[in-house]
Homo-oligomer: A and B are copies of this chain.
Amino acid sequence: MGKNKDEFVKEITNIEDDIAQWYTDIVIKADLADYTDTKGCIAIKPYGYAIWENIQKYTDQKFKETGVENAYFPLLIPESLLQKEKDHVEGFAPEVAWVTEAGDKKLEEKYCIRPTSETIIATMYSKWLNSWRDLPILYNQWCNVFRWEMETRPFLRSREFLWQEGHTLHETAEEARQRTLQMLEVYNDVTENLLAIPTIKGIKTEKEKFAGAEETYTIETMMYDGKALQSATSHYFGQNFSKPFEIKFQNREGKEEYAYQTSWGCSTRLIGAIIMAHGDNRGLKIPPKVAPIQVVIVPIAQHKEGVLEKANEVFENLKKSFRIKLDDRDNYSTGYKFNDWEMRGVPVRIELGPRDIENGVCVVVRRDTGEKETVELSNLNEVLEKLLIDIHNNMYNECKKRLEERTTIAHNLEEFEKQINEKQGFIKTMWCGDVACEEKIKELTAAKSRCMPFEQENLGDTCVCCGKKATKMVVWGRQY
């Protein structure tokens, strides 16, 4: 396993040699999270949690602008509730954690820790909903959920993770479907405009949809190595839950009707997406809009007279406009600091030494390209504002370029296998709609259907697998 040669970041595995180990190195060394004594669960450290807070703040605001209100439902779900929707329980029962004792007593009915909250929320909704006048109900909760996964990876697949889950009720199927798509657009906005990761939007196949859903919509993204990450999903339930849970209302005609339902979620997995989509051999690259520290000032020769004073002055001038840090540690070398902040993915570094101060300038260094620029201190605010936007756009474009380069078209299985093995990425094909073909492809190539993109293309008339008449274009990929 090759190690990166740079003196300061030598502890980080080379991303080309072993991306899995590289990922773990970054999570630990950049102080995003750490392993704990609770198997499969991480502790999220302040630097990682601050990214989540920035995602939350933006997303929560977007939700509220569409009329969503926050609420909170119980962590524990009685076994009998989980059982009520057949597909749902089949999907989740194998990986739930069960509470069977309290104090030194055995419980009469066991409770599972919520793997998701459809069942407990549906029960409350059936109690709360009376009339069409109560609709729509648009509730969301920010909380922790738990799924007893066998193979875990920090952020990307953790037994416990933090997320939000929105659950809405509607008068009509059409309105519910619109809400499903509206929330998918919020996630698309978050992924592209906040995290600088281009997306493919689409609908999941029957096989890949959420347990209990009628339709599952998804935001798919491509990571550094060409693998896919499902970044957020939005589900249309129709009346699948409202019937077994009796979520009924009196409609405008005075008749009793079952409500139409949606749910939608995104999680701390998005932090994993940031690492995997943007990182490189120097470490993390955090998109400016969610970076806990957007700009770091590293004084040069800080022991010299006036350097720290000036650095402090610059810091004070900028701190109203940017999330900024002054690194005045006296027990680390300047070179160490440069590499340390690069590894932590801070978008911009400002270097400020005695000669710069004499000339009224500083040196501004971009994390994304490594480019250096000498900037007048009097212009600094304005330059940084533009630079952060530029860095966001450049990071987005880099990902977009990769997405395009690593997306290929296959017309038959031979092409499919060749492409995915030679250049791991997304593969577009036509598909007949038969789950048997989907399963065969997965068996042969380890690639799953990511989605049937909204932007359908006509790549031919026949299914990539069986050669029968094709009905849909599908994007396939190996996944995290």
Cross-chain contact A34 with B124 (CB below 8 angstroms) = yes
Cross-chain contact A76 with B160 (CB below 8 angstroms) = yes
Chain A 13-40 near chain B by CB (<8 Å), digits 1 or 0:
0000000000000000000001011100
Does any Cβ of B come within 8 Å of A336's Cβ? no
Chain B residue nearest to A98 in the complex (CB)? B101
Chain B residue nearest to A113 in the complex (CB)? B99
Write out the residue numbers on chain B whose beta carbons fall within 8 Å of the beta carbon of A97: 76, 99, 101-102, 111
Does any Cβ of B come within 8 Å of A182's Cβ? no
Please judge, given known A-B contacts A43-B73, A70-B53, A127-B34, whether A102 and B98 are in contact too, CB under 8 Å: yes
Which residues of chain A from 116 to 149 have any CB-CB distance to chain B below 8 Å in the complex? Answer: 120, 123-124, 127-128, 133, 139, 143-144, 146, 148
Partner of A144, one of B75, B110, B148: B75
Does any Cβ of B come within 8 Å of A71's Cβ? yes
Please judge, given known A-B contacts A95-B103, A101-B100, A331-B133, whether A70 and B50 are in contact too, CB under 8 Å: yes
Which residues of chain A from 24 to 77 have any CB-CB distance to chain B below 8 Å in the complex? Answer: 34, 36-38, 41-46, 49-50, 52-53, 69-77
**A406 → chain B closest CB, angstroms:** 34
Write out the residue numbers on chain B whose beta carbons fall within 8 Å of the beta carbon of A46: 69-71, 139
Does any Cβ of B come within 8 Å of A375's Cβ? no
**A80 → chain B closest CB, angstroms:** 8
**A471 → chain B closest CB, angstroms:** 36
Copies in the complex: 2
Chain A 369-384 near chain B by CB (<8 Å), digits 1 or 0:
0000000000000000
Write out the residue numbers on chain B whose beta carbons fall within 8 Å of the beta carbon of A71: 43-46, 49
Chain B residue nearest to A94 in the complex (CB)? B103
Does any Cβ of B come within 8 Å of A387's Cβ? no
Partner of A38, one of B49, B74, B128: B74
Write out the residue numbers on chain B whose beta carbons fall within 8 Å of the beta carbon of A100: 98-101
Does any Cβ of B come within 8 Å of A78's Cβ? yes
Does any Cβ of B come within 8 Å of A422's Cβ? no
Partner of A36, one of B49, B94, B123: B123
Write out the residue numbers on chain B whose beta carbons fall within 8 Å of the beta carbon of A160: 74-76
Does any Cβ of B come within 8 Å of A96's Cβ? yes
Please judge, given known A-B contacts A71-B43, A94-B103, whether A37 and B146 are in contact too, CB under 8 Å: no
A375 to B123, CA, bound (A): 46
A77 to B43, CA, bound (A): 12
Which residues of chain A from 200 to 259 have any CB-CB distance to chain B below 8 Å in the complex? Answer: none
Cross-chain contact A38 with B77 (CB below 8 angstroms) = yes
Does any Cβ of B come within 8 Å of A81's Cβ? yes
Does any Cβ of B come within 8 Å of A104's Cβ? yes
Chain B residue nearest to A78 in the complex (CB)? B37
Does any Cβ of B come within 8 Å of A326's Cβ? no
Does any Cβ of B come within 8 Å of A437's Cβ? no
Does any Cβ of B come within 8 Å of A89's Cβ? no
> Would you give 27 A-B contacts (Cβ < 8 Å), ordered by A?
A34-B128, A36-B74, A36-B120, A36-B123, A37-B78, A37-B120, A37-B123, A38-B76, A38-B111, A41-B74, A41-B75, A43-B71, A43-B72, A43-B74, A49-B71, A50-B69, A75-B160, A76-B160, A93-B103, A94-B104, A95-B103, A97-B99, A97-B102, A98-B99, A99-B99, A100-B100, A144-B144
